[in-house]
Amino acid sequence: MIELGLKFTLAYLLGSILGSLLVGKIRGGVDIRQLGSRNAGGTNALRTQGKIFAFWVMFIDVGKGIVSASLLPYFSLPGVGLDPQVSRELIVVAVGLGVIVGHIYPVWHEFRGGKGGATAGGVICVLASEIAIPVVLFWLSLIVITRYVGLSTMSAAIGASIYIGITKLPAEPEFFVFSLLVAVLIIYTHRDNVVRMFRGTESQVKIFPLGK
């Protein structure tokens, strides 16, 4: 259990490194948490800084999810090693949750982070790599159709959870529970978006010259 706790903590600390603030420092100290929706995620980066800035933010935020879930569970910590009594699947779930929670509540940045969608997507890419491209295409299609990034992200999280439930149960219940928790967490972090959509005040984006 020591390995589990340490790797969760390491993943949390990695998740606390926000792509938007890292890119912002390179760009001369831009902090998008002071702009637009005041969120540190990719959507606010796109709205306030443009596509190139947002691309690198997404690259970093997705990347830390992939790195955490694919490398940390199998890395032998000095003095701790790999605990044979703890399944690798459980370690993957722990580091996956750790990196996502770190992104949402980053210790390095006053616990004011993003909404977790990109980082969760990176973790899901490792858990069920076969749906990575379909989920991204589904997410992008919904953005083109609805122009609501929040709605598209919540829908993608729910869809991924359903797929993992169908394909991973009953053999790997840890992965399904993880995907379900992620879907609930993504909906929770987008709760204000849901309220604004019902009120008709939610901001829309236009990534491609298609759609409405």
Going from N- to C-terminal start, the domains of the chain cover 2-199
Q: Please tell me the predicted confidence (pLDDT) of residue 210.
A: 43
* Cβ-Cβ contacts under 8 Å for 117 (sequence gap 6 or more): 41, 42, 153, 156, 157, 186, 189
What's the confidence (pLDDT) of residue 207?
A: 62
Amino acid, res. 107: V
Q: Residue 81: what are its φ and ψ, rounded to 5°? A: 75, -160
Its pTM stands at: 0.90
CA distance 103 to 22: 13
Task: Please give the C-alpha separations between residue 73 and each of 37, 86, 212, in angstroms, as whole numbers.
Answer: 35, 11, 43
> What would the pLDDT profile of 89-102 be if each residue is shown by its tens digit?
899 999 999 999 99
